[in-house]
Chains A and B, each alone.
Chain A
Amino acid sequence: MSDMVTRTVRLTAPPDTVDTVHDLLDALWPSVPDVSARDRMSLDTAIIELAANVIQHANRGKPITATLTVIAFPDRIEATLSDSGEVGEVDIEGRSMPAADELAESGRGIALMKALVDTVEHRRVDGFNHWTLVREREQVRQPDAPPRHLPSVSISGIIDEMARQRALEEMGILDSPPEDRFDRVTRLAKQLFGVGGAKINLIDGDRQWSKSTAGYGDEVVPRDKAVCAVTIEDDRTFVVQDLLADPLLADRGVPGEVEFYAGHPLQAPGGERIGALCVYDGKPRQFSEREKEMLRDLADWVQQELTASHELSRAAEVQQGLLPQSLISMPDWDIAGMCLPARAVGGDFYDWYPVGEGAAITLADTMGKGIGSAIIAATVRAVLRSAARFGDVAGAVDLAAASLNADLDTTGLFVTLLHGRLDMDSGEFTYVDAGHGLTVVARRDGAIERLRSHTPPLGVDLETEWQSHSVILNPGDVLVTASDGLLDLYDGTLDALDKIGALALLASTSAEVTDAVRARARGVAPDDVTVVVVRRDG
């Protein structure tokens, strides 16, 4: 049986950082049981010397994250400093203590550290340095015995724990708001087993955080008081009929609240056990094999939801990556765009790229929301991009529509879009509006003109003849095009476009307009919101 205490700290430049490590140690020791003053003093000194060297040599001026894990065994204490610094260059071999009469002012740190503990080990795993110090406890140490080789027994567990913690953080779920898809499972579990409470718990560093709770229980519990922290040590269902009667687990129970416990571990996509689905009750009870099976099924369900949200957030990153990142260089023109999906991913997109003496600009809205629409949106973008290389605007839309018709027909979706080309010298914007109709030109003098739609959306009528129209943007004019999600942010009518047009005339840059819309949409938009603003300076 051992006790583990972990603290994480962000280290930047020496020397102030050393004080951070001091403070960390001061906060950590009270949680480690039965440490003698001498052992604490020795390990404090050795860890400070180690940290000072790690910071000086390993980070090359960049901030690094370091985690200190102290594990207390009955006969020894093992402290591991795990840091994200570049390849460890601290030479721990062959550093002997300078002779006293030489009065050297430096060069004693590593030798001092080695004299204070029995063993110093270094490993590099997955981009982390793990420096492990092992000190035999004073209680079992022979008085005045020299340091002896005592290989660490905890290091593999620490490396696993770091991988586990990283996997958990990558899922991006910690401290997120409650979600019905998880609350549904805990509610069901509570009812199904007829218990006082059910939770989805994630083990995060020193604490347990509940993503979902049905019934009673705190959202955050110290790790050493959480039964789920024991459950994640194994991949099987963990059942304790009477916590208070179990000497090893009694201090994790709560009389009258958590006396019975059953939990099944939850895994990250890489298999790391990041938490557990558990049920608990205020009095001891039995838990049958069949109930274990049901709990496991529910845990699988939670795990699928966890993995789905992880994959969805990856999909969202990819979709945002498809939006134009860089501004095209067009003197006297200022273009900005924003796309805020109502869910993780959406069916809207905007695009622009240089064509001839100007740019092609697209804003499209695929019917529907979510992943299905997002897949079609990405297809539309790709097809339009390649079609834009041939012929004029109408020809490009015609080519794109011909390629997309079969796909749109199969999926039953359609796409509204504005696709146009801007000639940067003349200011002429030649466009096809396919059932979109959400574009305005705000004139320098304050007049707002709506651009009409002349053709149906893509995917509606195979026989459509795509015709282009054009409008001249003079200095001081602004063109704004949006998806219908924008209307919902105002009164739901086309008047919203006039408001945005007026706003665009007042703004000094296009990005100011998109920022204003983004601020208005955040958290409240029921539909995908996309806006592109094109202004001609003057």
Chain B
Amino acid sequence: MDISVTTHSNGITELGVSGRLNMVTAARVRDAIQTAVDDNRGRVAVDLSGVVFLDSSGLGALIAGLKTAREAGGDVRLVRPTEQVELVLDLTNMGSVLKSFDSVESAYPHE
């Protein structure tokens, strides 16, 4: 799994995650979101277009990140989840909390 970090001029941190987001890699994603929250105001967009697999551990990392970000007044929004990721979000009812968007810009339109 790879994580790329891009800080946009409007203060949004974009995390590009690719590969498997599972028990093995969950901690790294959690840490990456924590770092983004510490460095910025906690507005994080996670680009999931390269994630081939998300399991409940990976989902747990996104939820942990969401909690951290919200405590800092920010949010975690998902960008372009793959079909498998959508399936997991849907069946766990987490899609309503971890919202998905087509792009980083549409995830935070008013920034």
Contact = CB atoms under 8 A, between A and B. Distances in A.
B16 interface: no
Nearest to A19: B24
B9 interface: no
A417 B31 CA distance: 73
A18 B24 contact: yes
Contact of A106 (B24, B60, B84, B94): B60
Interface string A41-64: 110110011001000000000000
Given A15-B23, A116-B91, A44 B53 contact: yes
A104 B60 CA distance: 8
Chain A contact residues: over half helix, strand or loop, or mixed? helix
Contact of B56 (A41, A42, A44, A49): A49
A59 to B, nearest CB: 15
Interface string B11-25: 000000000101110
B10 interface: no
A70 to B, nearest CB: 18
B52 to A, nearest CB: 9
A101 interface: yes
B83 A41 contact: yes
Interface in A1-36: 14-16, 18-19, 22
With a 10 A CB-CB cut-off, give which of A22, A97, A100, A104 has the most chain B CB atoms: A100
Contact of B92 (A22, A37, A48, A108): A108
A162 interface: no
Contact of A109 (B53, B56, B87): B56
A22 B53 contact: yes
A115 B91 CA distance: 7
A103 B91 contact: no
A37 B83 CA distance: 10
Contact of B84 (A15, A18, A22, A45): A45
B45 to A, nearest CB: 19
B57 interface: yes
Interface of B: 20, 22-24, 53, 55-57, 59-61, 63-64, 66-67, 83-84, 87-88, 91-94, 96-97
Interface residues of A, number: 28
B55 to A, nearest CB: 5
Given A105-B67, A112-B88, 11 more contacts: A15-B22, A19-B20, A19-B22, A22-B53, A45-B87, A52-B57, A103-B97, A105-B60, A105-B61, A105-B63, A109-B55
A106 B93 contact: no
Contacts of B67: 103, 105
A106 B20 contact: no
B5 to A, nearest CB: 22
Q: Which 5 A/B pairs are nearest by Cβ-Cβ distance?
A: A15-B23, A109-B56, A105-B60, A115-B91, A108-B56
Contacts of A115: 91-92
Contacts of A99: 93
Contacts of A103: 63, 66-67, 97
A97 B93 contact: yes
A29 B70 CA distance: 40
Contact of A45 (B24, B60, B64, B88): B88
Contacts of A52: 22-23, 55-57
A337 B59 CA distance: 60
B2 to A, nearest CB: 15
A26 B60 CA distance: 24
A37 B91 CA distance: 17
A50 to B, nearest CB: 11
Given A97-B93, A103-B67, A108-B92, A49 B55 contact: yes
Contact of A100 (B57, B84, B88, B97): B97
A117 to B, nearest CB: 11
Nearest to B22: A18
B24 to A, nearest CB: 5
Contacts of B91: 97, 112, 115-116
12 contacts: A18-B24, A19-B24, A37-B83, A41-B87, A45-B88, A97-B92, A100-B93, A103-B63, A103-B67, A104-B63, A112-B88, A112-B91
A105 B57 CA distance: 8
Nearest to A52: B23
Interface in A96-124: 97, 99-101, 103-106, 108-109, 111-112, 115-116
A15 B63 CA distance: 19
Nearest to B26: A15
A48 B63 contact: no
Contacts of A49: 55-56
B55 A48 contact: yes
Contacts of A16: 24
Contacts of B97: 100-101, 103
A297 to B, nearest CB: 55
A16 B23 CA distance: 8
A106 B56 contact: yes
Nearest to B62: A105
A512 B59 CA distance: 57
A22 B51 CA distance: 14
Contacts of B96: 100
Contact of A48 (B53, B87, B93): B53
Nearest to A101: B97
A104 B57 CA distance: 11
Contacts of A112: 55-56, 88, 91-92
Nearest to B60: A105
Given A97-B92, A103-B67, A42 B87 contact: yes
Nearest to A42: B87
